[in-house]
Amino acid sequence: MLQFDKRRRCLEQEDYAFELKEQAEPNLFRDIFSYGQVPKTPFNYRLNPMKSPDEIWITDTTFRDGQQSRNPFTVQQIVDLYEMMHRLGGEQGLIRQCEFFLYTDKDKEAVTKCLEKGYKYPEVTGWIRANKKDFALVKEMGLKETGILTSASDYHIFLKLGKTRKQAMEGYLDIVRAALDEGIIPRCHFEDITRADFYGFVAPFAKELMRLSAESKIPIKIRACDTMGYGVSFPGAMLPRSVPGIIYGLIHFAGVPSENLEWHGHNDFYRAVSNAANAWLYGCCCANGTLLGIGERTGNTPIEALVIEYMMLRGEDHIDTTIITDIADYFRNEVGDVIPPNQPLIGENFNVTLAGIHSDGLLKNEEIYNIFDTKKLLKRPPGVAVNDKSGAAGIAHWVKSHTKSENVEITKTHPGILKIQEWVVEQYKQGRVTTMSSGEMMEQAKKHLPELFQK
C-alpha cells in the first residue's frame, strides 16, 4: 500500500513485510568477518537520507557497561559522578538517562541515593538479563524503565545462546510482554547489531516489538548496540556494518520512532564518536556513552565528546562545559584513574604543545594552535611543555603562563629566556630524554628572570 509523504512530497510504500528468516546454520558473514583477517567494509552504493530528529540527547551507561572492565565504583563515587552528570546535562536534560545494575546491595544503595536527589535528569533506569525474575528488582527499586539484553547476531543466538532465531525471538518477546504487564518500559538492547542479519532478524524482531508497543500503548525502546565497534558511517557502505543503514532501516522499515531509538557504540576501531554523531544525523534521537569513554576493551563513546559534538551540531552554548574538567579531576583524584595525557578534552597535555614553532604561534595568538578557548570552556588555558624542541618561544610561553609577568616584557629574544634555553640545550646534550619539570623551569626562571619575582 502506498502513502504520500508530506515532507518529501513523494509516494512511498507504507508497509514492509519483513519476516523472520529461520535457517539451520548461523549467518556469520564470513566474507566480511573472516576472523583471520581485518574485517572488510563492502559497499553497495545505496545512500540513506540524512534526517536528524528535531531533538537529540545523550544517555549514560557509566555505572553499567562502564564498570564491566574496571574496579567497581564506591557508592559515594557513583553519587558524586551522577551529581556532576546532572550539572553537565543541565535542567534541559541533554544527558537524559543514567543506567544502573540492580543486583548487589551496593547497586541498590547507589540507585536509592541517586533517586533521593530528586532530579528529573538524568532519569535513573535499570539493566537486567532476559529473565522474568529480574523484573522484581526493577519494581523493588521503583524504576519506570529497564534495559533488557536481546542479542541480535547469529554469533550470539547460535554460538552463545545455542538457540535458533525463532527460539531467541520468542524468548525475547516473552520477556518484553512480562515487562509490559508490569507497566515497565522495556529498552531492548540489540547486542552485536553490526554483525546481525538485518532483514532476516533485526527488522522482523523490531517490527514485532512495535506491534506490542501499539497494543500496550507503552513505548518500547531499541538500543542498537555496536558491541564490537564494527559500525562504519561511510556513504554507500553495506549492512550489517552501515550505521546510517541500521538507523534508517529501523525507522523506515520497522517503524521505530526516532525518540525510542538509541545508538550504543564501542571504540575498537576508533569510530565511537563519529558513529554516534552519524546515528544522530540519520534519525536516532539518542547516543549512549560513558564518562571518559570507560568500558569493555577499548571502551564506549565518551560522554564529554558527545557533549562537544552536540554543541558542534546544534550550536547551543548554554551547557557548562567546565564540568567536563571537574569530572576528569574527580577520576584522577578521587577514583584514582590514570588518564592518558594525550586524551582529547581531558588529558593533561591535550592543549599543551612541545614544538617551538607552535609555541611561537601561541605567543602571538593562542587561536593559532588551540582548538577553542579552552580556558573559558574547560578551565584549561593552553600550555607548553619544555624539551629540546621547544626553542626560545616555547620557554617564553612557559614563563608567561607560569609567572606573574604582566608588567615585564617577555619575548623569545629576552636575555633571560636565552639563558634558560642554553641550559635546556645543555641538558639534552648530556643525554636527557624527559621533558623539563615545572620545578626545574621555575628554578631557572628565578635565576635568570629575577625581576618577575620581586614584590
Listed residue (391, 104, 51) closest to 250, CA to CA: 51
Asked, for residue 395, whether it belongs to a domain, the answer is yes
Query: What's the average model confidence in pLDDT over 355-369?
Result: 65
Looking at the structure, do residues 81 and 40 belong to the same domain, yes or no?
Answer: yes
pLDDT at 328 over 70: yes
pLDDT-above-90 percentage for the chain: 70
Q: What are the residues facing 352 on neighbouring strands? A: 383
Pairwise CA distance, residues 39 & 238, whole Å: 13
Residue 313: CATH number of its domain: 3.20.20.70
Distance CA 306, CA 343 (A): 14
Residue 9: inside a domain: no
| One-letter amino acid of 416 | G
Rounded average pLDDT over 195-210: 98
pLDDT tens digit string along 280-299?
999 999 999 999 999 999 99
Last residue of a domain, one of 300, 335, 370: 335
Q: Which residue has the higher pLDDT, 390 or 276?
A: 276
C-alpha distances (whole Å) from 234 to each of 190, 227, 266, 302, 437 are 22, 19, 17, 21, 44
CB 208 within 8 A of CB 172: no
446 and 305 within one domain: no
How far apart, in whole angstroms, are the C-alpha atoms of residue 204 and residue 194? Answer: 16
Q: Do 409 and 322 share a structural domain?
A: no
Question: What is the pLDDT at residue 366?
Answer: 77
Which domain covers residue 361, as residue numbers? 352-453
Phi-psi region of 436 (alpha: psi -120 to 50; beta: other; left: phi over 0): beta
Report the relative pairing of strands 261-265 and 221-226 from DSSP bridges.
parallel
Higher pLDDT, 324 or 19: 324
**Domain shared by 266 and 330, yes or no:** yes
CA distance 206 to 322: 39
For the residues 152-160, what does the mean pLDDT come to? 98
**Residue predicted with more confidence, 136 or 169:** 169
Cα–Cα distances (Å) from 282 to 94, 233, 244, 249, 265, in that order, read 19, 10, 6, 10, 15
What mean pLDDT comes out for the span 383-396? 81
Task: Flag whether 283 is in a domain.
Answer: yes
On whether residue 8 sits in a domain, the answer given is no
Same domain, 392 and 300: no
Confidence of residue 277 (pLDDT cuts 50, 70, 90): very high
> Could you give the 3-state DSSP secondary structure of residue 21?
coil
Residues 427 and 361 in one domain: yes
| Residue 387 is assigned to a structural domain of this protein | yes
Q: Is 192 left (phi over 0), alpha (psi -120 to 50) or beta?
A: left
User: How many domains are contained in the chain?
Assistant: 2
- Start-to-end C-alpha separation, the chain: 84
62 & 179 share domain: yes
Q: Which amino acid is at 21?
A: K
Alpha helices in 236-321 (DSSP H): 243-252, 272-281, 303-314
**Is the model's pLDDT at 81 over the cut of 60?**
yes
Averaged over 134-159, what is the pLDDT?
Answer: 94
Where does 105-218 show beta strands of DSSP type E?
123-128, 145-149, 185-190
Q: Phi and psi of 2, rounded to 5°?
A: -100, 150
What share of the chain in percent tops pLDDT 70? 97
Say if 106 falls within a structural domain. yes
- Judged against a pLDDT cut of 60, whether residue 359 lies above it is answered with no
389 belongs to a structural domain: yes
pLDDT of residue 405: 67
Task: Round the CA-based radius of gyration of the chain to a whole number and report it.
Answer: 26
Beta bridge partners of 147: 127, 187
Grid cell in block for residue 174: 516473552
Considering the domain architecture, whether residues 323 and 359 belong to the same structural domain is answered as no
**Quick one: how many helices (H) and strands (E) in the chain?**
15, 12
Tell whether 323 and 424 lie within a shared domain: no
**What digits encode the pLDDT tens for the residues 6-28?**
777 888 877 777 899 999 999 99
CA torsion angle for 86, 90, 95, 96 (degrees, to 10)?
90
| Choice among 56-65, 190-199, 413-422 with the minimum mean pLDDT | 413-422
Q: Are residues 219 and 262 in the same domain?
A: yes
pLDDT at 356 over 60: no
Distance, in Å, from the CA atom of 197 to the CA atom of 394, rounded to the nearest integer, reads 55
Q: Are residues 280 and 414 in the same domain?
A: no
Query: Same domain, yes or no, for 320 and 258?
Result: yes
Q: Which of 285, 284, 269, 328 is nearest to 304 (CA)?
A: 328
